[in-house]
Structure 1
Amino acid sequence: MYSFYLKLEKEEIQLPVPPTDFTLKVNNKNKIIELLNLGDINILKDPGLTDISFKILLPGQKYPFAEYPDGFKMPRYYLERFEKYKVDRKPIRLIVSREAPWKEPLFDTNMAVSLESYTIEEKAGEEGDIYVSLELKQYKDYKTKVVTIQEVKDGKTTATVKEKRPAKTPEKTYKVKKGDTLWNIAKKELNDDNKYMEIAKLNNISNPNKIKIGQVLKLP
């Protein structure tokens, strides 16, 4: 069983019908150069940004196979959100929760992404239903740094580099509030949203998408 979520700040939406195909393309920035008497060699570099693509169905009526945790919503509700993601020019969070038929949690995908493009398609005989193909790209947060250059004797200079956004010292526990998810708790309290699985493991949470308001979590 798959569940797909898109989240911008405190608003989280669950896509009613999981896509039949889900593609993650992990890119690289390796460089091939030619050396004399040796030929081509491959210089390995850090991986590039991941590309994500999938196609979803937005039903125009309530089907038994669709999921609506907060009640049935017409396709325009989701299309308005997609437009907002483009207009706001902010990264969104893609969360894919996987569960085996015997209810055992499988691996999750939890990644900050940008909505690069989406295509809307309608089919004859399926009035009201909308198909949307989405193209996403991994987003990596970055911090600006302030460089202070000072002149000293003998014409020498020194440079001091400071990050504009200092790291926050995490608390030992956190009480879950309305709208919280493990990833935004990890980002807010630990300055690293990728540590959400550490919080889940520390608190024996089998499904990272299921936490309760008022629940007290231990933080690593």
Structure 2
Amino acid sequence: MTEIFIEYDNRVVALPVNPQEIMLLREGNNETTEIVSLGEINMLKAPKLAGLSFECFFPPNADASYVLTKGDFRAPDFYIDFIEAIRKAKKPCRFIVSKTKINLLASIETFSYGIKAGPVGEVYYSLAIKEYVNYGVKEVKITDYGANRPKTKNVNTAVSVTKPTPPAPAKKSVYAGCTVIVNGQLHVNSYGAGPGQWRRGFRGKINFINLSGSHPYHVTTMDGGWQGWVLASAVEVQ
């Protein structure tokens, strides 16, 4: 028999009645855009958080055959208080459906309940949860290693020194997100396929880098509109 459990604060509670259906929703978070000489493409990104919602009811007693918690029956108010406590605490719980792969650390997104025409004492409810991913700020301790160094005595070290010729300014490194001036031809991929339009004095941004390709930098407009891949010699960092 499949059962539904909610685990919170070292306590596991089984729901007394199974809903007619329960479906886990997993959605992508991809974006489509236009690229030169290729048309519309799909940019694959990390998926959205999983979620599910369902409707069911809390029975007033354990008489019916469909009640799964006959050995530990609780009144509807017990489940309402338990779920509300999780929601108000603003903390995640674990939602488990036995004999399935549904086992999520999740947050209570919506919880509504009330009565309908039917058996006296039944409380109908609707519950929606969303997957929760742990995150947090990691504390880093910085040690001042120079604090315990011995002090150097004042010594007259004046000598005649010939100043070296300053080196030529180093070329700025290209990195994802930097602003560049482009003077070159756009291509479909970083290996030089699909040569397209030319850009002269074009001001844009770098959003992708593939140093293994002959055309390692992908250029966009300042607003993020895709342009194409260009030679390393075609970009100058601003």
Unpaired segments of 5 or more residues in structure 2? Answer: 146-238
- Give 2:69's aligned residue: 68
C-alpha displacement of 1:147 = 4.7
Say which SS state the counterpart of residue 111 (structure 2) adopts: strand
1:119 aligns with 2:112: yes
The 1:146/1:71 distance shift into structure 2, 3 A limit, reads closer
Say which SS state the counterpart of residue 95 (structure 2) adopts: strand
Amino acid at match of 2:49: L
- Give 2:28's aligned residue: 28
- Give 2:222's aligned residue: none
- Give 1:218's aligned residue: none
Matching of residues 68-217 of structure 1 within 5 Å: 68=69, 71-98=72-99, 107-147=100-140
- Give 1:42's aligned residue: 42
More helix by share: 1
Contact 1:27 1:51 in 2 (8 A): no
C-alpha displacement of 1:135 = 0.6
Cα distance in 2 for partners of 1:28, 1:148 equals: 38
Cα distance in 2 for partners of 1:22, 1:116 equals: 16
Size of the aligned set, in residue pairs, is 144
Cα distance in 2 for partners of 1:52, 1:125 equals: 26
More strand by share: 1
Contact 1:91 1:139 in 2 (8 A): yes
C-alpha displacement of 1:37 = 2.9
Amino acid at match of 1:45: K
Cα distance in 2 for partners of 1:91, 1:69 equals: 28
Q: TM-score, normalised by structure 1?
A: 0.60
Cα distance in 2 for partners of 1:144, 1:70 equals: 44
Which structure has the larger Rg? 2
Cα distance in 1 for partners of 2:140, 2:46 equals: 25
Say which SS state the counterpart of residue 6 (structure 1) adopts: strand
Contact 2:24 2:102 in 1 (8 A): no
C-alpha displacement of 1:56 = 2.0
Q: TM-score, normalised by structure 2?
A: 0.56
Identity across matched positions, percent: 31
Say which SS state the counterpart of residue 18 (structure 1) adopts: coil
Cα distance in 1 for partners of 2:139, 2:96 equals: 34
C-alpha displacement of 1:126 = 2.0
Cα distance in 1 for partners of 2:144, 2:10 equals: 47
Unpaired segments of 5 or more residues in structure 1? Answer: 99-106, 153-220
Bigger drift between 3-12 and 56-65 goes to 56-65
